[in-house]
Structure 1
Amino acid sequence: MAEEFNLPWISTDSIREQMRQIVRKEDYPDLFHISDPSFTAEKFLTENSAEEIVESQNKESFEVWKGVEAFIETDYVWGSFIVEGVAILPNLAANLMNKNGNVRPVFLVDSDEKRIRENVYTRGLWDDADKYPDSVKDKEVEWVVAFSKWLEGECAKYSLPIVHVGDRKTYVEEVKKIGF
């Protein structure tokens, strides 16, 4: 998207990692839940349902959003830019949009379970696909599907636009139709 619109971008993953270096664990406990040395992707994905993983991710996203919002409110270099990532939750985006008229959220959702599965097994979600066992990747697929459904419901609740990801050209055109 950034390339198509010729805009700089930052990922909420980058903001999360920066925050982990500068904030205190006791002030942002849900930001550090995976920093426990005994924590592994395999254990987390095996011991939690897809819905519990969505809930856990959303708790972390709520913490990350504080950094996202600070970035948006204090950036003076880029002017216009794209923030992308799983930590952008509809309720938080809607609140920021109401405070700052320059914020224009659009949510990209992939509902194609076959494509999701292919991405998880070839690229990986938790990490590079070859760095953790295939035995937990079906749970990741369930997690993405559950999150997509949750996201669609939340976007409807806040009247935020959703674009379903198909091929690149199609979804870029859909985003343009929304007015970006």
Structure 2
Amino acid sequence: MSRRKIILIGGMPTVGKSTIAARVAKRLDLPWISTDQIRTLMMTTANKQDYPLLFNADGHTAESYLTTYTADEIATQEIQQADEIWSTIRHFIDSDWVWRDGFVLEGINITPSLVAETYGGNEDIKAVFLSDSDTERTRTVVYTRGLFGPPHETPDALKEKEIEWTHLFDRTIREQIEKTGLPLVEIEKTERDVDRVLIALGHS
């Protein structure tokens, strides 16, 4: 019986995790899914008292959410939300009835600290984290695609806050990478990105 091949891809918002995950999955002939989908499913069944950070944006528009919290608070909430829902994500990863040959799972809720603590030394589960230190590339994504909602619904001043918290989140991921030694790939938004991610995962 062949071993399951599980690939975890984490990193900052706007870096292109979904795009990379889809291309990696195609190259490795695996299905892929996002933690966004797991989180959305959780929100239909979970108790708000048990998972308060899962529902931290409830009742907010993108504008009111970005007005209520500072960039640092938003980045911190995202890291804390990952901790809060990790048990559910871990259950998904560990369940052998989920795509028995393996899969690619990407999302903001996958952090180096959680992966290292849970799966350090597990040769069947490989993780890589994506980063983009180019603020202008982040700005382009936020202004053209949006982050918490359609860009036309968010004032430009608040778009700048979105950019700020995104890079604060990235800084935390980099700090965790330094402690855990897990691979980090600096994304260039070129065709080379997928090859570099596969190399970081141990695939040529």
TM-score over 0.5 for the pair: yes
DSSP-derived class of the 1:51 partner? helix
2:123 counterpart of 1:91? no
The residue type paired with residue 10 of structure 1 is: I
For 1:173, the equivalent position in structure 2 comes to 195
Aligned length: 178
For 1:118, the equivalent position in structure 2 comes to 140
Instruction: Call closer, same or farther: CA 1:130–1:110 in 2, change over 3 Å.
Output: same
2:178 counterpart of 1:153? no
Shift in Å, 1:98: 2.5
For 2:19, the equivalent position in structure 1 comes to none
Superposition map of 1:50-69 within 5 A: 50-69=71-90
CA contact (8 A) 1:10 1:84 kept: yes
Shift in Å, 1:7: 1.9
Shift in Å, 1:102: 1.5
Long gaps (5+) in structure 1: none
* TM-score, length of structure 1 as denominator length: 0.90
Bigger relative contact order (CA 8 A; separation at least 6): 2
Shift in Å, 1:13: 0.8
Which 4+ residue blocks in structure 1 deviate beyond 4 angstroms? none
DSSP-derived class of the 2:102 partner? coil
In structure 2, distance between residues paired with 1:75 and 1:157: 30
Instruction: Call closer, same or farther: CA 1:25–1:50 in 2, change over 3 Å.
Output: same
For 1:25, the equivalent position in structure 2 comes to 48
DSSP-derived class of the 1:104 partner? strand
For 2:35, the equivalent position in structure 1 comes to 12
2:92 counterpart of 1:71? yes
Report which of the two has the higher share of helix.
1
CA contact (8 A) 1:106 1:161 kept: yes
RMSD across aligned positions (CA): 1.8
Shift in Å, 1:167: 2.6
DSSP-derived class of the 1:105 partner? strand
The residue type paired with residue 162 of structure 1 is: L
For 1:142, the equivalent position in structure 2 comes to 164
DSSP-derived class of the 1:7 partner? coil
Q: How much identity, in percent, do the aligned residues show?
A: 39
The residue type paired with residue 61 of structure 2 is: T
CA contact (8 A) 1:163 1:174 kept: yes
Long gaps (5+) in structure 2: 1-23
CA contact (8 A) 1:15 1:68 kept: yes
Shift in Å, 1:148: 1.3
The residue type paired with residue 169 of structure 1 is: E
Shift in Å, 1:115: 0.5
In structure 2, distance between residues paired with 1:12 and 1:133: 28
Deviation by residue 1:47-103 (Cα, 9 ceiling, x = unmatched): 333221111111222223222111101142422211111111111111221374321
In structure 2, distance between residues paired with 1:7 and 1:17: 22
